[in-house]
Amino acid sequence: MTYPYVAHLAVVAVDRDTGGLDVRRYLVAYDIGRPINPMLVKGQITAGVAQGIGGALYEKFLYDEFGQPLAGTFADYMMPTAREVPPVEVLITEDAPSPLNPPGVKGAGEAGINAVGAAIASAIDDALGQQIVVTRLPVTPTQIKRALQCNPGM
């Protein structure tokens, strides 16, 4: 059992007129014991965050009444680009090396994506006045706009 420890932090800006969202800053702090290749781990985490932003804000599989996908190509399927993904700040620590193997390593593969949706949802709720607005992903400008119209005091 070589569990890592991770924390995600997202800072977002919400356009109250359009419901649009901009991820301004993203930080991942990750204790994986002794990193064998820190640059590889940072790249893996950064790619996971980009994928997580896609799941949190853009990507949704929609089907018609016959079960056929509505997005047949990437031209029809929303994914984040370099414009939507901020530079990801990654802090790798060695606070608690694993005692279960000689180099003290832990797993490092999943931490980039697992918490992104929750971090972004919490950042949106915080930006809107700490109301629980986000209850499902992906979050769309329409959802944010509807929440603002239903609760003008946010």
DSSP code of residue 23: E
CATH number of domain containing 125: 3.30.365.10
Count up the domains in the chain and report the number. 1
Tokens describing residue 81: 């680009």
pLDDT tens digits, the chain, 154 residues: what are they?
A: 677 889 999 999 999 999 999 999 999 999 888 888 889 999 999 999 999 999 999 988 888 999 988 888 878 788 899 999 999 999 998 888 888 889 888 888 777 888 999 999 999 999 998 778 888 899 999 999 988 888 766 6
Name the catalytic one among 59, 84, 89, 110: 110
Domain range enclosing 93: 5-150
- Please indicate whether residue 110 is annotated as part of the active site: yes
CA distance 124 to 140: 11
CB 8 within 8 A of CB 116: yes
